[in-house]
Structures are given as structure tokens and as C-alpha cells.
Amino acid sequence: ARLREDLPGACARGELAVAFQPVVSLVEQRIVGVEALLRWRHPELGEVPPAEFVPIAERAGVIGELQRWALDQAARAAVALPVLHAPLRLGVNISASHVAARTLVGDVAAVLQCTGLAPERLILEITEATLMAGTDDIAVDVEALRLMGVHVALDDFGTGHSSLTHLSALPIDVLKLDRDFVARVDRDPRSRALCESVIAIGRALGLDVVAEGVETPAQLGVLRGLGCGFAQGFLLSRPLRLSELTELLETGA
């Protein structure tokens, strides 16, 4: 109840922030993107994880506002980041209800316009469950976003029920391999086989595959051996504040 009451004003009170977790190319061996992750520092309760407050925001009907703010902040940050080789890509998580509310296309267009972020740099991370709910409305919106040049990632891939046939029909550019599979990739033959198939499917469909939640060199080694293109996780970098990310890029990590 406390969170539900405090959330609507949290943005205006400056309690929200966006953290950025680097995404690394395993081929180029450098940071090629970041995932924006919303943070709420409650004045009394401390850090509230998004897994807790995003569902509350959805039920309270303030997810649209929250999401617009996060998109705007993340895009502003992205255009101001130092460019080393190529401009970093920016992943932003989009919740199911925001997609369902049908304001996403307009919201994204407005943010691109206001910040000058190139659409090709933006990757909307949408979960398998949301995309698979696949009503025609959602398909129309996602198609409109891709026509604008924006990329779409299937987030938490492996946790839903996409069949291969269905996957090839989805309007996506990136597969994010769920960290549940990555966690045991170096120890459990089944996890390894699953990761191997996802990477192979990605290659067959021309999709980038990003392994999430990489925590150990052993996991990274196996994923690299399987031909996984990209990775993120605590081993490579935890989510960083903008100042930390800028410093990391400037000191050439």
C-alpha cells in the first residue's frame, strides 16, 4: 500500500533514476550497447527493485508516465555518451501494459524527436509473453516501430512458449537468452543444449543473440564456444550510474 501511494509522485520528487548495464560484443570484445534499468530510491524504504514497483505502476495506471520518463532519460543519456567506435545501442524494457495501451508508437516517436536519438540505436525489450499475446493491435504497433527504424528484442527468451515457427514470424531483431539458462550453461548438459539451440536459431534467423546474467568466466567461455555474439551480466559489468558508465567508456574498457 505504501509503495502504491508513493509511486505516482516518485518521479517528480527525483527518486527515480536509470542505471545502464553494458552489453559486450564477444567478437569485437568491447561494449556495443547498454540496457537501461529503472531504479527507485524510496526515501525511507531504500532501493525498491523494478520487479516490485513496475507491476504496481501497471495496476496504478502510471506505467505510461514512468515509461515515458525512463525512455526520455535513457535517450538523453545515450546521445550524450562518448563515442569510441560506433554509437552505443540502447535497450529499454517495455512492459506488457504499455504495449497494450497503444501509446508506445507515439511515445517512442516523441522521444526520438526530442532527443535526436537515431532510431537504429534504440532496442525495445519486450518479453516473449507480451509479444506472444500477439493481438493484431500489438503486431500493428510493433510493425510501425520497426518501420521507424527502431529495433525490437525478445526479452527473457526461453521462459515462454514460442515455437520455432512462431519465432520466425515475430517482428524482432534480437534474442535475449534468459539468465536461467545461462546460469547452468557450464555445468548442466540440458542448459548447454538449450543455449546452443537458441544461438543456432538466432544465426538461422539473422538475429543477434545476447546472453543475459553472465556471472562467471566458465559461463562466458562456453557461450563464446557456442558462437554467442553478445553478453551482459555481473562478470562483465553490473548496472552503472550514468557517471560511472561515462567514466568506463572514457578510460576505454
Residues of this chain that bind ligand G (CB under 6 A): 21, 37-38, 49-51, 54, 67, 70, 93-95, 125, 155-156, 179, 212-215, 233-234, 239
**155 near Na ion, rule: CB under 5 A:** yes
Q: Footprint of Mn ion on residues 122-141 (CB under 5 A)?
A: 125
**178 near Mn ion, rule: CB under 5 A:** no
Closer CB to ligand G, residue 55 or residue 83?
A: 55
Give the CA angle between residues 91, 96, 100 to the nearest 5°: 115
Q: Footprint of Na ion on residues 162-221 (CB under 5 A)?
A: 176
CB-based closest residue to Mn ion: 125
Q: Footprint of Mn ion on residues 43-102 (CB under 5 A)?
A: 93
**6 near Mn ion, rule: CB under 5 A:** no
* Plot region of 139 (φ>0 → left; ψ -120 to 50 → alpha; else → beta): alpha
| Binder of Na ion out of 156, 183, 210, 226 (CB under 5 A) | 156
Least gap, CB of 62 to ligand G (angstroms): 12
**Which residues of this chain interact with Na ion, rule CB under 5 A?**
155-156, 176
